[in-house]
Amino acid sequence: MAENKTQATGAGVGAFLGGIEDGVRRGDAEALAGLMERVSGCPAMMWGPAIVGFDRYHYRYESGREGEMLLVGFSPRKAALVLYGLLGWDGAEALLGKLGKHTTGKGCLYLKKLADVDLAVLEELVRAAVAAKRAAILAR
């Protein structure tokens, strides 16, 4: 079976975030890293070359494929901040309705900039997603 492309690495998160050329995107990424670290209670770690993740879980599909994946995280891409692990649980849609300017697709939340959203709602979205995922993991 093929290995998961997205794997934790030993790369430095600070160096990655510090290397973001756009000052607004770098500031947003640093703020998002702080928020996710505080809410998850886990330090940031790099997953692949461009994803900052918090906590991890083991998954196993019925097909037998298994691996490790980040619980929540983000990637500061040029077009938008891409947030992972925040969708697909009961109550997510209600919070997204209060979040502010965003788009979603394929399980990801896209934000052009943090100034476009209500940070208190974003923090609650992260907190609730982390809690829902941890509860689902424990229920297995």
Domains of the chain: 13-139 (3.90.1150)
pLDDT (tens place) for every residue of the chain, 140 residues total: 566 778 889 899 999 999 999 999 999 999 999 999 999 999 999 999 999 999 998 888 788 888 899 999 999 999 999 999 999 999 999 999 999 999 999 899 999 999 999 999 999 999 999 999 999 888 87
Q: What is the pLDDT of residue 6?
A: 82
Helix (H, G, I), strand (E, B) or coil at 81: strand
| Residue in 36, 7, 39, 24 with CA at minimum distance from that of residue 80 | 24
- Quote the DSSP letter at residue 5: S
| Residue in 89, 102, 77, 82 with CA at minimum distance from that of residue 139 | 89
Which residues on adjacent β-strands are paired with residue 104?
109
Q: What is the pLDDT of residue 2?
A: 60
